[in-house]
């Protein structure tokens, strides 16, 4: 009886799968909207100064960050679906192998590291003092190092069977 309830309970995870898909669509649409509105602004104002080029560079970096967040939400949706709802579907994403929770964690960590790097690049142009840039860099680096260490330790534990 309890086994049957637990097996049926996995369908509760449809909620985060659908939520992650909605998030992915929303973030990608938002990124596309930023591209269109910023591009239109620069074309209509004909403002091709160095300051505008810098603003456009920041916009591009921030938009790439949005797309990375959208990809993260999509990978999360596919991973949760594959791991908990329907394990018999085979691979949904070509080139993205998710067979266990550690695989999903590694994919998410990889995208988070890329998103943090892109976000830091966006901060570089907005920084008012070099000390602020150093603090932001140290904070970003600390998170990336912690995530890489977590991935390394998890992989090592998996190999040893602990």
- Mean pLDDT (whole number) for 69-80: 88
Between 145 and 96, the higher pLDDT residue? 145
Could you tell me the sign of the dihedral formed by the alpha carbons of 21, 96, 108, 13, in that order? Answer: positive
In the predicted structure, residue 24 carries a pLDDT above the cut 80:
yes
pLDDT of the residue at 2 = 80
- Mean pLDDT (whole number) for 63-87: 85
- Mean pLDDT (whole number) for 82-95: 70
pLDDT of the residue at 25 = 95
Which residue carries 């070509």 as its tokens? 94
**Which residue in 115, 107, 114, 109 sits closest to 91, CA to CA?**
107
- 36 CB contacts (<8 Å, ≥6 apart)? none
29-70 pLDDT tens trace: 999 999 889 888 888 888 777 777 777 877 888 888 889 889
Q: Which helix (H) or strand (E) holds 42?
A: helix 14-45
């Amino acid at each position: 009886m309890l086994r049957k309830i637990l097996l049926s309970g996995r369908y509760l995870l449809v909620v985060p799968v659908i939520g992650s898909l909605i998030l992915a669509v929303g973030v990608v649409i938002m990124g596309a909207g930023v591209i269109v509105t910023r591009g239109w602004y620069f074309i209509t104002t004909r403002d091709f100064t160095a300051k505008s080029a810098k603003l456009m560079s920041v916009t591009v970096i921030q938009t790439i960050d949005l797309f990375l967040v959208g990809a993260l939400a999509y990978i999360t949706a596919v991973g949760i679906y594959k791991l908990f709802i329907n394990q018999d579907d085979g691979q949904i994403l070509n080139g993205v192998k998710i067979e266990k929770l550690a695989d999903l964690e590694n994919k998410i960590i990889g995208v988070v590291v890329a998103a943090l790097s892109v976000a830091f690049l966006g901060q570089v142009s907005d920084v008012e003092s070099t000390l602020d840039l150093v603090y932001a860099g140290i904070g970003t680096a600390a998170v990336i190092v912690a995530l890489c260490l977590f991935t390394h330790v998890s992989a090592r534990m998996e190999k040893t069977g602990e």
